[in-house]
């Protein structure tokens, strides 16, 4: 199964912790897997996203940042 959902995070990020819980709910409801990537592990990701984490990617494209819009993400996953 291709992983369609990615959450870009960093350590010591309260919003990231909240987003992880939301991503788990969305992934479970949609029958999808998701992965987490630490932006600080990659200089290119860090340069692009350093001030916007957490960032939600759907199929490799930015779907949102700072909070997971669960209903919208579920709709877009299914649509």
Q: Quote the domain boundaries for residue 45.
A: 5-78
Query: Residue 17 has what pLDDT?
Result: 98
Question: For residue 1, is pLDDT > 70?
Answer: no
pLDDT per position as a tens digit, 36-55: 999 999 999 999 998 999 99
Q: Is 53 helix (H, G, I), strand (E, B) or coil?
A: coil
Residue 65, both tokens: 């940042």
Q: How many domains does the chain have?
A: 1
pLDDT per position as a tens digit, 4-18: 999 999 999 999 999
What is the CATH classification number for the domain harbouring 25? Answer: 3.40.30.10
Nearest C-alpha neighbor of 67 from the set 9, 28, 12: 9
Nearest C-alpha neighbor of 57 from the set 36, 78, 28: 36
Look over the chain and give the mean of its residue pLDDT values, rounded to a whole number: 96
Alpha carbon distances (Å) from 13 to 3, 30, 49, 74, 79: 23, 26, 13, 24, 31
């Amino acid at each position: 199964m291709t992983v369609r959902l990615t959450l870009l995070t960093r350590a010591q990020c309260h919003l990231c912790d909240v987003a992880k819980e939301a991503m788990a709910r969305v992934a479970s409801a949609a029958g999808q897997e998701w992965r987490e990537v630490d932006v600080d592990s990659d200089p290119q990701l860090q340069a692009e996203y350093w001030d916007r984490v957490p960032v939600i990617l759907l199929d490799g494209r930015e779907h949102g940042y700072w909070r997971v819009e669960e209903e919208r993400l579920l709709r877009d996953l299914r649509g």
